[in-house]
Structure 1
Amino acid sequence: MSRAEQPSRRTVLAVAVAAAVAGTAAPAAADAAHDAPGHGADPDTARRVDNRAWTTYRDWRGGTARGTRAVAGDRPGVVLGSPAGTTSYTDPHTGRTADWEYATWTSPVHRPAVPSTEAIVSWNARTPGGTWLQVELKGTYSDGTDTPWYVMGRWAAGDQDIRRTSVDDQSDGKSSVWTDTFAIDDASTGLRLVSYRLRLTLYRRPGTRATPTVWRLGAMGSDIPDRFTVPAAAPGLAQELAVPRYSQEMHKGQYPEYDNGGEAWCSPTSSQMIIEYWGGRLTAEQLAWVDPAYADPQICHAARYTFDYQYDGCGNWPFNAAYAATFDGIQSVVTRLGSLTDLETLIAAGIPAITSQSFLAEELTGAGYGTSGHLMTVIGFTADGDVIAGDPASDSNEAVRRVYRRREWENIWLRTKRYNAAGNVASGTGGVCYLFFPAHPTPRQRAALAAVGVR
């Protein structure tokens, strides 16, 4: 996030997707009517998100395997068994060509309860040295035709074997992939994604026994209504979680090869706060590459290991979720929530969230900046229902804790349309968030996650 109102790469692409739907219309009168408090959570939005994840031994046994095998145990997963073949891959960011053994696992067809205009895939995996993975999505439209296999990410926890990357220029004239998001090109036509399959391809260096292990693979499909304002949810919780506080601004100019340094590191900084809340720690060996003069070296590490070399930034949503899941005992997902009531449900169970929002400086009292895209943590609510945030766009770690007005914060997070600094219609994220939570949630945590559609 930059403090200035500058369009991020994702925002520029998302505007292209939204333009056909958004037009230049002003907020509808029905939207404005919802501005008054007391309407409560929007039940319609809650029905517009569908999450499906494959996580159990039965899940992994149920897919179509070509050289992969399911593994049971404390955390069931899928691994590379007997390779299905060998292929050559030229890394577009290094120019290096290498041969890789590979195997695939393809999920059963999932028909989301919500015919979707967008879908975001996320995964939890371990990739030892000499291994990596690719995730793809293939769907069927409401007109009966199929999408191509879209690459949703090429990923490794490290950066020595390949450079983790999204893939640009994927479209079939009906839908496109914008960095990490599948999107129907013109939702106003009524075209929707009505089913999909996910395909994992696991890679390793020929002749080795190393393998990636994937514990969680899933997608969030959604059809969020276009709107400038959202219904207000009545306050229902006063609680604050003890989440570490880190400032991205303290890292200005550090490691500019990763999206020009800390000024743009809102996503990895937020991720690291929640990772450490759940007990995730980096070793001295892992941090040895960071200049010892830099405070909080783990933030530099998080930026490096979430960096998407095609997007040229650290804000790839699934890459941040995948990074979190490399820490023992943590799993993660990218999803959408429907209201602040959903966040209160999670906070009450001890689960903080990382949310994505865009706003002008005057739209969020006390922020002191405007942004076309920013991640921050939500760690609690005041007695008045205002949002307690860990906002990394702060000048010091001590200043990271912020209290933002409930109604303002709710609207900038949940809306899908907004006006930018130039007065033009731009997109909003419609409630996107990352959730990091224990690999083995407590019953209360499991119930809270299920209540917001995550299992």
Structure 2
Amino acid sequence: MSRAEQPSRRTVLAAAMAAAVTAPMAVAGPAAAVAADTTPDRPVDNRAWTTHADWRSGTAQGVRPVAGPRPGVAIAAPVGTADYTDPHTGTTAAWEYATWTSPVHRLSVPSAEAIASWNAHTPAGTWLQVELRGTYSDGTDTPWYVMGRWAAGDQDIRRTSVDDQTDGKSSIWTDTFAIDDAATGLRLTSYRLRLTLYRKPGTRLTPTVWRLGAMGSDIPDRFTVPASAPGLARELDVPRYSQEIHKGQYPEYDNGGEAWCSPTSSQMIIEYWGGRLTPEQLAWVDPSYADPQICHAARFTYDHQYQGCGNWPFNAAYAGTFHGIQGVVTRLGSLTDLETLIAAGVPAITSQSFLATELTGAGYGTSGHLMTVIGFTADGDVIANDPASPSDEAVRRVYRRREFENIWLRTKRYDANGRVRSGTGGVCYLYFPVRPTPRQRRALAAVGVA
């Protein structure tokens, strides 16, 4: 399971969400290049820039759109040079940079939270920064918030979230934009995303970004959620990996495998879609360790500020580094949504927190844990690859439908001491092919992802 509750993110969000009230549901705006679902169970707006036409829109300063089978944006001619002092190494270096800023996206769901996602190639000597600036429902603007400084590797910079970002109305909690007091009715109504692409001066290197987007949401404040009716019996053949067999390995990455639920879950689905690491990529791992790809996933999802491997966008970005795979962070509204995905052959990674008594058969409680949903039994119960298992063979679990649905979708819960804590409100990682089948495309669209 994941590390103890982080005061820099989940605990603080809990305080804000505990005071929240359910906002009135917004009416979706005109049709646009956006996947939005404003049903009562899933008040979520997803917008992603992925096509050549998308990358030709917005404001380009020193970047160019890249055509081809996976369109993107890359450095054309840098617009300047800037020094960056890595807070985790103390190293200062000069970097050439160029920027791309999206058009304004008006949220069909005025949102209390927003989470960005991106997929990119960052060869050695390059990195990128993602920022968000929005407009509130009172007509004022947020600052430019840094949503992540990221590279696939860790030799040039240490990938990192940025703490202590606030304007008194909203704040960034590791990977999540959140309205400070949702009970006031203040919401984010629109936003722009800004990419800054960096490279070593005097080179022709460039990051290439294939996907950039954000998920805005306004999930009703709740301790329980309505039960959904079973609708599917199917199980996908997803690799099974335990995080627990990695206890004590590479403790510099969030205290070793005991906290590696997120990268372990990510690696399961990456390999389901055919993603493989080469012997050269795994050469740094102690050869005596089983499943070295899990150690690799932990290292290359690690957020040096959060000091953990559970940064949601960093996991989606890691998945996007594998050929033919893209990844996003979203929220779903019920197990019916997961059934829609499983029916199309798309597994999902869910984030939940619970007491040991709230999930029969788990045998543990957790303040935050990721697991992979791979199917449903004939009775509608959830089949999950739970990495908090003593061995790879023990990873497959069956959890009661009603229990699983509630611990995943609620926004508020009580901890073992009776204090109110946050729930994720249906947060989910979705990894799927760059070229989905028609059935997969329909299933993704049905749950609000394009």
Instruction: State the TM-score bracket (shorter-chain normalisation).
Output: over 0.9
Contact persistence 2:383–2:397 (CA under 8 A): yes
SS in 2 for 1:21: coil
- Which residue number in structure 1 is paired with residue 332 of structure 2? 337
Residue of 332, 351, 354 corresponding to 1:356 = 351
1:349-395 CA-partner distances (Å, limit 9, x unpaired): 00000000000000000000000000000000000000000000000
Counterpart for residue 248 of structure 2: 253
What is the distance in 1 between the residues matched to 2:254 and 2:383?
28
For 1:138, the equivalent position in structure 2 comes to 133
Distance, in Å, in 2 between the alignment partners of 1:14 and 1:289 is: 37
1:14 CA drift (Å): 2.1
Residue 283 of structure 1 aligns to a residue whose secondary structure is coil
Aligned-pair identity (%): 82
Q: Matched residue pairs, number?
A: 434
Given candidates 406, 413, 417, the residue that maps to 2:412 is 417
Partner of 1:26: none
One-letter amino acid matched to 1:15 = A
Residue 305 (1) aligns with residue 300 (2)? yes
Pairwise CA distance, 1:63:
1.3
Aligned match for 2:372, one of 353, 363, 377? 377
Alignment partner, residue 76 of structure 2:
81
The two structures, once aligned, show a CA RMSD in angstroms of: 1.2
Structure 2 matches for 1:40-439, cutoff 5 A?
A: 43-46=39-42, 48-439=43-434
Residue in structure 1 matched with residue 24 of structure 2 by the alignment: none
Partner-residue secondary structure (3-state), 1:129: coil
Give the CA deviation at 1:19.
4.1
- Structure 2 unaligned segments of length 5 or more: list them: 22-37
Task: Note if contact 2:57-2:103 (Cα within 8 Å) is conserved in structure 1.
Answer: yes
Deviation at 1:300, TM superposition (A): 0.2
Provide the rounded CA distance (Å) in 2 between the counterparts of 1:364 and 1:303. Answer: 26
Q: Is the 8 A contact 2:18 2:412 kept in 1?
A: no
- Provide structure 1 residue ranges, at least 5 long, that are not aligned to the other structure: 23-41
Query: Contact (CA 8 Å) 2:11, 2:422: kept in 1 or not?
Result: no
Superimposed CA distance per residue, residues 197-223 of structure 1 (whole angstroms, 9 cap, x where no aligned partner)? 000000000000000000000000000
Cα deviations across residues 65-122 of structure 1 (Å, max 9, x unaligned)? 0001101100000001100100000000000000000000000000011000000000
In structure 2, the partner of 1:450 is: 445
Q: 1:2 to 1:140 in 2, by over 3 A?
A: closer
Q: Could you tell me how far apart the structure 1 residues matched to 2:422 and 2:86 are?
A: 32
Partner of 1:14: 13
Deviation at 1:13, TM superposition (A): 3.0
Aligned residues of 1:8 and 1:373 also touching (Cα < 8 A): no
